[in-house]
Structure 1
Amino acid sequence: MNTLQWSGLLLLAVIAGAVVPFQSAINANLSRGLGHPLWATLASLLVSLLVLLPIIIALRLPLPSLAFFSKAPLWMWAGGVFGVCFVALAVMLLPKLGASGFVVLALTGQVMASMVLDHFGLFGLVEREVTLPRLAGALLVVAGVVLIQMSAVPGKSLVAPG
């Protein structure tokens, strides 16, 4: 893979992360309008389905093999459960923690879980050992999360008022 392709992938990953606070903030407002976070979660996932189906049809993707459905281990279907969990928790927590508070705490969980997934090569991932530099990088991200959260809490500023 050349540098331009690699850069494109990195940019797409940044965009994937950038949509999270927008999605969460919009869904939090939807929750207030619909009266409960779970209704907003359902609405969000239904809109996702309505957006995705025409794309699948436009790309003329072949139907998946029915044999796969019976052979696939149960854990392969957990992605949908995790999706509901993330969207519902985002809807509930973002109004209380703020966009930056929610995202940095969610990022902390993502970094920690990712390190475990990589280290053990879980779910078919390539094993990437937790080395000292990787651990230091993860700790720096978590330290950044702490700094962002502390500065967002009234009365807990790290800088003395001037």
Structure 2
Amino acid sequence: MNTLQWSGLLLLAVIAGAVVPFQSAINANLSRGLGHPLWATLASLLVSLLVLLPIILALRLPLPSLAFISKAPLWMWAGGVFGVCFVALAVMLLPKLGASGFVVLALTGQVMASMVLDHFGLFGLVERQLTLPRLVGALLVVAGVVLIQLSAVPGKVLVAGG
């Protein structure tokens, strides 16, 4: 993979992360209007389906293999469960924690879980051992998360040396 392709992937990953607070803030407002976070979660997922189906049809993607669907292990279907979990928790927590508070705490969970997934090569991922530099990098990210969250607490001021 050349540098331009790698840069494009990095940019797409940043965009994927950047849409999270927008999605969560919009869904939190939808939740207030619909009367419950789970209604907003359902609405969000239905809109996702309505957006995705025409794209699949426009690209003329072949139907998935029924043989695969019938034989796939149950864990392969858990992505949908995790998606509902993330969207519903974002809708409920973002108004209480703020956008930056929710995102930095969610990022902490993502970093920790990602290190475990990589270290053990779970779910078919390439194994990436937990080395000291990777651990220090993860801890620095988490430390940044803590600083961002603590500085957002009303009435709490972080002062060097005291």
Write the distance in 1 (CA, Å) between the matches of 2:38 and 2:161.
41
Q: Deviations over 1:68-102 (max 9, x none)?
A: 11110000000000000000000000000000000
Q: Deviations over 1:47-73 (max 9, x none)?
A: 000000000000000000000111100
- Judged with a 3 Å threshold, the aligned counterparts in structure 2 of structure 1 residues 160 and 131 are, in CA distance, closer, same or farther, namely closer
Q: Deviations over 1:21-51 (max 9, x none)?
A: 0000000000000000000000000000000
Deviation at 1:155, TM superposition (A): 2.3
- Judged with a 3 Å threshold, the aligned counterparts in structure 2 of structure 1 residues 73 and 144 are, in CA distance, closer, same or farther, namely same
The list of structure 1 runs, each at least 4 consecutive aligned residues, that deviate by more than 4 angstroms after superposition, is: none
Q: Deviations over 1:88-130 (max 9, x none)?
A: 0000000000000000000000000000000000000000000
Corresponding residue SS for 1:146? helix
Show structure 1 runs of 5+ residues with no match.
none
Write the distance in 1 (CA, Å) between the matches of 2:134 and 2:140.
10
Write the distance in 1 (CA, Å) between the matches of 2:141 and 2:38.
31
Task: Determine what percentage of the aligned residue pairs are the same residue.
Answer: 95
Deviation at 1:161, TM superposition (A): 13
Q: Deviations over 1:139-158 (max 9, x none)?
A: 00000000001100012221
Compute the TM-score of the two structures, normalised by the length of structure 1: 0.98
Write the distance in 2 (CA, Å) between the matches of 1:44 and 1:66.
27
Write the distance in 1 (CA, Å) between the matches of 2:17 and 2:143.
19
Q: What count of residue pairs does the alignment treat as equivalent?
A: 162
Corresponding residue SS for 2:157? coil
Corresponding residue SS for 2:118? helix
Show structure 2 runs of 5+ residues with no match.
none
